[in-house]
Structure 1
Amino acid sequence: MNEPAELLSAAALRAFRLNGQFLEVAEGLARPSGLTAAWWQVLGAVLHEPLPVAGIARAMGMTRQGVQRIADLLVEKGLAEYRPNPAHRRAKLLQPTLAGREAVAAIAPAHRALAQRLAEELGMDAFRDCLAALTRLSTALDRLPPPP
């Protein structure tokens, strides 16, 4: 195997591990407020502006069907609601309800505490470097054509 192929494999494996770690942390942070990591992710995507399911899926790197299932559950639980979409009659906009906003807000103290501990573990400069490297990698992957 050549070095670029080895680097791609190593990066993918590390990203899969990191994704698992983030999901485990997110589940632990979300659980006390009655959310799952996936519910938190979808609610977080619409905290600042309502979005259609397809827009949430694009922003979060999820499938449209997966977001639709979660959005329907959030609406059923009273944590979100569908609103008319002036740009598209059939693609309704999802927005959090007051209960959804309160559930997400309840996560904030533990989230801040974890962020502080991680910043202390890494150091702020290294933490920023990690984010920059992840952003560069994601941007580069976005620019590549899909594999055949």
Structure 2
Amino acid sequence: MTAEDPLIDDERITAFGRLVEVHARLERLLGRELEADADLPLSWFEALLRLARSPDGELSSGELSRQIALTSGGVTRLVDRLSTAGLVERRPSPADRRSQLVTITEQGRAALGRACAVHVRGLDEHVFSRLTDRDVRDLERVLDRLRPDR
């Protein structure tokens, strides 16, 4: 630690910095691969994956916004692009007409299937090939403890 400011070298700051650095690197690498090999931006992939994993393949715009950490305006623009591409459909929520439900289409599921193959290949190459089985279990445990819903 330095005499001027002992927190500059704090190991918590360093550990968090490594997490941010790894996240940014992986996001760039995996995003480039999805765009090049599946013609799907990473943000589209994430939205389609969240929809496909949800009951009936649909979420409210608000819930989708919470799950992918975008503002309501950001989700609106994202869903507009996905809808124009035929990957999702929108309809008013029967429970609240002010809210919209976003549903993945069959075309969206097909695009997601192709993208998942690309993404798994990239995850294996850039992440899991560098970790032991125990590392993976430890990583899952730590990340689960940091998730807000846990």
Gaps of 5+ in 2: none
Deviation at 1:124, TM superposition (A): 1.2
> Secondary structure, in 3 states, of the residue corresponding to 1:46?
helix
In the aligned structure 2, how far is the partner of 1:7 from the partner of 1:57?
Answer: 33
- Equivalences for residues 77-116 of structure 1 within 5 A: 77-116=85-124
- Equivalences for residues 123-134 of structure 1 within 5 A: 123-134=132-143
The higher radius of gyration belongs to 2
2:48 matched to 1:43?
yes
After TM superposition, the score normalised by the length of structure 2 is 0.78
After TM superposition, the score normalised by the length of structure 1 is 0.79
2:13 matched to 1:14?
no
- Which moved further from structure 2: 19-28 or 122-131? 19-28
Aligned to 1:122: 131
Give me the identity figure in percent: 26
Deviation at 1:7, TM superposition (A): 4.4
Equivalent pairs counted in the alignment come to 140
Aligned to 1:25: 29
> Secondary structure, in 3 states, of the residue corresponding to 1:86?
coil
Where in structure 1 do 4 or more consecutive aligned residues deviate above 4 Å? Answer: none
